[in-house]
Chain A
C-alpha cells in the first residue's frame, strides 16, 4: 500500500470501502520502473453494489478491463515518451501525444467516474442540499432541468464520449459540457473543473441497456454521488 502511494501520481482514492466483506479486486498495477506511472484505483464499493442501475458485469468489465487497459497503455506511452524526450526525438514525442491524450484521458475520466457513483444504500442519488444545490437552481432553474439537459446532450452525442457537469473556476458558473472519446474536460476549457461525469461510451451500458442510451442516462441519476460533487464545488468556490 505504501509502495503504491510512492509510485502513483494520482490523488489517493478512498479505500474506505474495504471491509471484510468487500469483494473488490485489488488489481493495483504498480509500475516500479518510473515515477510517472499511474495505477488502477480501487472502487470504493462492490461491483454489484450499483445494481440494478448498472449491472455487476458491466462494472467489473469496465473497471478490470477497460480502465485497466487505459492505465497500462498510458504507462507504456509515458515510458516511450521519456525515452523519446531523453533522446530529443521530437517526431516521436509528437506522435505519442494522441496515445497519451486518449489513454491518460481515459484514466483521468474513469477515476472521476468511480467517485461519481455511489450505491443507493450509501446515499447514491440523493440530491445536494448544499451550495451546489443552490448553484444548480440558479444556473439551470431546477435539478430536473439539469438532469434533462445532461440526458439530452448525452443522448445526442455521436459515437463515444462523456457528458460533464462542469464548474468554470473563473466565473464560478456551472455548465453542461460534452467531450469526445476520452478527452478530459480540461480540453474544453482550461478553467473547467469536472463535478460530475457520465460515461456514454457504449461499453458503459450496452450489455444491460443495449442501444437504448436514454434509458441508461435516465437511470444513472439514481446512483450519482452528489456528495462528491458538492465537496469539489465547495473546494473550488471557497
Chain B
C-alpha cells in the first residue's frame, strides 16, 4: 500500500494546447506542488490515472511489480525531497523522450504540459503489486486466481476505501493508524473492513513467494522450535488452526508482544493482529475466494500446499528481525572476541 497524491484542478487540458495559467516557469511540475512560496499550478492530467503516484510515473510508466518491501510514500506530508532537478517522464505521452510541448512557443528542453490552477491536493491509498508476476505461484495458485484476487478483490477494497476516506475525518492516516483507529476496540467503523483487508492482502502477497515453503532459515527455525517444540509441531498446528476456522477469516503466525512468543491463531473476516499490538509474521487468507478456483472445497490441500510450496520464509525472517526491534526475545548473544 502506498499513499499517492492527486491534485485537482480544472479539466485536464488537451495536450498541445496552452492553458490559461500564468505559469510558464521551467520548473518541473512536481516541485511546484510542494513549494509553498509559489502558487500551485498542477494538473491531474499529468498523471495517466488519478491513482498513479508521481514517483511511479518517474520510475516506471507501466505497472511493474515493486520489489519486496518497497514503498514510495508512507506519510501524508509534503515531501521533504528536493525535486527541483528531476525531470518527469510524462505519462500522457507514455514515452521517455522529452519534447517541447508546442514547437512554436517554447525552446524549453524539458517536457511540460500546461495546466490549470490547482485548488486542492488529495491523498489516497494505492494498490501495491505482489512482488512477483501473477503466474509465478503456479501450479499452486493459478494466474486466474491471482488476477481475480489481487486485481479484482484487493483492488476493490482500495477503491472503496478511497471513496470512504475522501469524505471522512479519518483522512490522512497511515494504514496502520487507520486500522487501529477504525477497529475501535471491537466496534469497527465502516472504514475498518476495507482498510484491514487492504493491509491483510498486502501482507499475504508478501508472505508468499515462488518456490517457497521448505524450512525456515536458522534463526527463525530456532525461534519456532523454542515456541512450538519442533517445526513439524508448528506446521501441524498451523494446518489444524486453518481447518478449524468457521466462515471467512485469516490464519496468522504472529509474535505476541506481551507473551514474547510466536503464536498461531485465526481471526474472522478482516480482523488483523495489528489491532492488538501483535506483530504478524505470516498470514494466510482463508476466505473462499483465495482458493476456490484452484482447490474447490479441498481446504486442507490448499493449506498444505501453502506450507510446503508457497510460504515465504524470507519475508518471515525479515519481519522477525524487525519485530525484535520492538520485542525483547531474550538476551542477545554477544560474540566473545
Contact = CB atoms under 8 A, between A and B. Distances in A.
Contact of A158 (B148, B152, B193, B292): B193
A65 B153 CA distance: 25
B270 A181 contact: no
Given A61-B297, A66-B297, A69-B297, A206 B289 contact: yes
A98 B297 CA distance: 21
B246 A181 contact: yes
Interface in B248-294: 248-249, 268-270, 287-289, 292-293
B296 interface: yes
A180 interface: yes
A169 interface: no
A10 interface: no
B297 A182 contact: no
Nearest to A98: B246
A203 B292 contact: yes
Q: What's the interface size class on B, roughly? A: 10 to 19
Contacts of A206: 288-289, 292-293
Contacts of B28: none
Nearest to A99: B246
Given A98-B246, A160-B288, 9 more contacts: A66-B297, A159-B248, A159-B269, A181-B246, A182-B247, A203-B288, A206-B288, A207-B296, A211-B153
Interface of A: 61, 65-66, 69, 98, 102, 158-161, 180-182, 201-203, 206-207, 210-211
Interface of B: 148, 152-153, 156, 193, 246-249, 268-270, 287-289, 292-293, 296-297
28 contacts: A61-B297, A65-B296, A65-B297, A66-B297, A69-B297, A98-B246, A102-B246, A102-B247, A158-B270, A159-B249, A159-B268, A159-B269, A159-B270, A159-B287, A181-B247, A182-B246, A201-B288, A202-B287, A202-B288, A202-B292, A206-B289, A206-B292, A206-B293, A207-B293, A207-B296, A210-B148, A211-B148, A211-B153
